[in-house]
Amino acid sequence: MSGTVPGNPSTLGALAGRALTNRSFIIGLFITLVVAAMALVSFFWTPFDVTRLIVADRMQPPSSAHWFGTDHFGRDVLSMIMIGARNSIAVALVAVGIGMGVGVPLGCWAAARGGWIDEALMRFNDLIFAFPALLSAIMITAVFGPSAINAIIAIGIFNIPVFARVARAGALSIWPREYILAARAAGKGKARITVEHIIPNIANLLLVQGTIQFALGILAEAALSYVGLGTQPPMPSWGRMLFDAQTVMIVAPWLALFPGCAILLTVLGLNLLGDGISDIFDPRARRRP
C-alpha cells in the first residue's frame, strides 16, 4: 500500500534539532530577545533620563552621545525607544492574554459541545469581527477618555474571536480522530479529553497564533498611540514618537526613522518566530500565511 508514514512530530529532541536548523526561528528568536532585553533593562537603566527636558539639546542628529539623536524637548531618542518597547510589549502581551484566556476556552467548549452552543459562539465571533480594534478604541475613548488601558481592552477584545476560531477549528480537527474515540471508550469525559488530548495537540497552533497576535498587537498599539487613543504623553511610546516626528520631519528625519524601525523590527522578529515555530511543529508544509 502507498500510505505515507507521518513523520515524528513531537519528541523534545527532534523539536530542538529542527529549531536549531530553522533560520526563521533563530533570527526571530534573536530579535525578540533583544527587544525584550531592551524593555527589561529600561526598568533599571536608560542612557538618559527621559523625564528631564533639556531644551539646549533639542533636535540633535545622531551622535556618539545620543546614538539616535534627541527630540524637540531634548530627550534622548534611544532611551525613549527602550521605554516605548516596554509599553508596546506590555499592551500587546496583556491583549494576547485576554484573547487567549477567553477565546481558547470558548473555542474548545464550542467544539466539544457542538449544536446551538457552537452556532451561538460563531455568531458572537461574527459580531466582534465587525468591530476592528480601532473602532472599539474610538468608542471607548469617546466614552471614557484616552488611555493605554483602552488600547489594551480594544485590542484584547478583538483577539478573543481570533483565538476562539483557531481553538475551535483545531479542536474540531482533533475530535474525530480515533484516539479521541479510544479515550471516550476508556470512559473519559469531554472536559477531561479537552484538557488531556485536545489542548496539547492544538498548543502549537495557539502558540503560532499567539506570536501573530502579539505582532499585530504591537502594530495596533503603535497606531492607536499615533492617533492619540493609546499610551498618553509624557509616557514615551513608539506611535506617539512618530506623531511628534511628523511635524518636524523635514528638519529632523531621524525622529521618524528610529521609532519606525523599532516597530518594524519587533513585528518582523515576532512574525519570523511564529513562522519558525510552525515549521518546527509541522516540517512537512508551511501552511501559515
Partner 1 sequence: MSLLEIEKLSLKIGSQSVLKDIDLSIAPGEVLGLVGESGSGKSMTALAVMRLTPDYAQMKGRITFNGIDILGATEPQMCALRGDDIGMVFQEPMTALNPVKTIGEQVAEGIRWHTRASRAEAEERARKILDRVGLPEQKFALSRYPHELSGGQRQRVAIAIACALKPKLLIADEPTTALDVVLQAQILDLLKELVSESKMSLLFISHDLAVVTEMADRITILRQGAVMESGDTARTLSEATHPYTRQLALASTHVPARVRPHGDETGTENLLDVANVTRDYPGTRRSLFSRSEPVRAVDNVSLTMKPGASVALVGRSGCGKSTLARMILALDTPTSGAIKFRGMDIAGRSEAELRRPRRNMQVVFQDPYGSFDPRHTVERLVAEPLHLLERRPDRKERRDMVARALHEVGLNRSDMEKYPHEFSGGQRQRLSIARAIITRPKLVVADEPVSALDVSIRAQILDLFAELNQKLGVAYLFITHDLTVARAITDDVLVMHEGRIVERGKTSDVLSHPASEAAQALVSAAPDLHRAIARRLQEQG
Partner 2 sequence: MTAYLLKRLLIGAATLVVASVVVFLMLEVVPGDPARVMLGMNASEAQVELLRDQMGLNQPLIVRYLDWARGLLSLDFGKSYTYSVPVIDLVKERFVVSFPLAIIALALSTLIAIPIGLFAAARRGRAGDTAAMAVAQIGVAMPNFWFALLLVYVFAVWLRLVPAGGFPGWGAGAWPALKALVLPAVALALPQAAILARVTRAALVEVLGEDYIRTARAKGMPMRAVMWRHALRNALIPVLTIMGLQFAFLLAGTIIIENVFYLPGLGRLVFQAITQRDLIVVESVVMLLVAAVIVVNLLVDLSYALVDPRLRTRQ
The amino acid occupying position 71 is D
Q: Please report how close the Cβ of residue 183 comes to partner 2 at its closest, in angstroms.
A: 29
- For position 11 contacting partner 1 by CB under 8 A, the verdict is yes
Q: Which does 268 bind (CB under 5 to 8 A by kind): partner 1, partner 2, none?
A: partner 2
Q: Which does 135 bind (CB under 5 to 8 A by kind): partner 2, partner 1, none?
A: partner 2
Q: Which does 55 bind (CB under 5 to 8 A by kind): partner 1, partner 2, none?
A: none
- For position 285 contacting partner 1 by CB under 8 A, the verdict is no
Beta carbon nearer to partner 1, 2 or 51: 2
Q: Give the Cα separation of 181 and 230 in Å (integer).
A: 48
Q: Please report how close the Cβ of residue 131 comes to partner 2 at its closest, in angstroms.
A: 6
Q: Give the Cα separation of 138 and 155 in Å (integer).
A: 12
Q: Give the Cα separation of 30 and 85 in Å (integer).
A: 15
Q: Which does 183 bind (CB under 5 to 8 A by kind): partner 1, partner 2, none?
A: partner 1
Beta carbon nearer to partner 2, 40 or 264: 264
Q: Please report how close the Cβ of residue 212 comes to partner 2 at its closest, in angstroms.
A: 10
Q: Which residues, in sequence order, are CB contacts of 103 under 8 Å at separation 6+?
A: 159, 160, 161, 162, 163, 164, 165, 166, 167
Q: Give the Cα separation of 75 and 50 in Å (integer).
A: 6
Contact residues for partner 2, defined by CB under 8 A: 123, 126-127, 129-135, 138-144, 215, 219, 222-223, 226-228, 239, 242, 245-246, 249-250, 253, 256, 259-260, 263-265, 267-268, 271-272, 275, 285-289
Decide: 180 and 193 in contact? Cβ < 8 Å. Answer: yes
Q: Which residue's C-alpha cell is 469525559?
A: 189
Decide: 38 and 84 in contact? Cβ < 8 Å. Answer: no
Beta carbon nearer to partner 2, 183 or 257: 257
Half-sphere exposure of 173 (CA within 13 A, CB side): 9
Among the listed residues 145, 169, 179, 287, the single contact to partner 1 using CB under 8 A: 179
Among the listed residues 56, 130, 185, 250, the single contact to partner 1 using CB under 8 A: 185
Beta carbon nearer to partner 1, 7 or 289: 7
Exposure class string for 40-70: b at 16+ Cβ within 10 A, else e: eebeeebebebeeeeeebeebeeeeebebbb
Beta carbon nearer to partner 2, 48 or 226: 226
Decide: 92 and 218 in contact? Cβ < 8 Å. Answer: yes
- For position 17 contacting partner 1 by CB under 8 A, the verdict is no
Which contacts qualify for 117-125: CB closer than 8 Å, 24 or more apart?
Answer: 118/168, 121/164, 121/168, 124/161, 125/161, 125/164, 125/165
Beta carbon nearer to partner 2, 120 or 182: 120
Among the listed residues 17, 61, 132, 200, the single contact to partner 1 using CB under 8 A: 200
Residues lying near partner 1 in the complex (CB under 8 A) are found at: 1-3, 5-11, 177-179, 181-189, 197, 200-201
